[in-house]
């Protein structure tokens, strides 16, 4: 399908690979930047988008998202609109290593986050979902001023 004057195409992009030598769940923590591979990924996206009608670029305030958006912003001559509502989901294990072999399942302090698969450790199953993010960003009166028309 090609875009017409009556259609708006929204491209959603997750940040590139993050430099994370300690393997922690970084969530919303500051000072997690793109790895060299992540930087190359961001450059590749910018090159791939050339020729598309990109008119607005929004990113969360996290360093890795700003770094991912920067090459596209430069390619299209756009400013990055930083929006706090477009953010990584909160996670009870933020700042910790969590995965196979780390002992998380043996620690009673983690069980309350793991026993209910319908309420994940990364917050409300709806409030931090893509659908929730989309709803917050497209509800009239809730968009950043640059998006209101």
Which residues, including other chains, have CB under 8 Å from residue 91's CB and lie 6 or more apart?
Answer: 25, 27, 121, 122, 123
**Could you report how far apart the first and last alpha carbons of the chain are, in Å?**
25
pLDDT band at 123 (very low <50, low <70, confident <90, very high): low
Judge contact between 39 and 72, C-beta under 8 A. Answer: no
What domains can you pick out in the chain, each with its CATH number? 36-142 (3.40.50.1240)
More confident residue, 66 or 126: 66
| Predicted pLDDT at 135 | 66
| Predicted pLDDT at 147 | 46
Dihedral over Cα of 56, 12, 33, 121: its sign: positive
The percentage of the chain sitting over the pLDDT mark of 90, rounded to a whole number, equals 42
Pull the structure tokens for residue 79: 């400013």
Bridge pairing between strands 80-82 and 57-59: parallel
Render pLDDT for 10-69 as a digit per residue (tens, 0 to 9).
888 899 999 999 989 898 999 999 999 999 999 999 999 999 999 999 999 999 999 999
pTM of the predicted protein model: 0.74
């Amino acid at each position: 399908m090609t875009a017409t004057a009556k259609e708006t195409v929204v491209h959603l992009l997750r940040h590139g690979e993050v430099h994370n030598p300690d393997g922690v769940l970084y969530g919303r923590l500051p000072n997690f930047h793109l790895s060299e591979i992540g930087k190359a990924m961001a450059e590749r996206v910018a090159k791939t988008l050339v020729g598309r009608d990109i008119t607005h670029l929004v990113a969360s305030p996290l360093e890795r998202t700003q770094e991912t958006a920067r090459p596209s912003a430069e390619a299209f001559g756009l400013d990055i609109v930083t929006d706090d509502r477009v953010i990584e989901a909160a996670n009870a294990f933020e700042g910790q290593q969590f995965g196979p072999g780390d002992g998380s399942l043996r620690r009673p302090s983690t069980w309350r986050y793991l026993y209910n698969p319908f309420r994940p450790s990364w917050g409300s199953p709806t409030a931090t979902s893509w659908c929730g993010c989309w709803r917050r960003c497209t509800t009239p009166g809730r968009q950043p001023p640059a998006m209101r028309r």
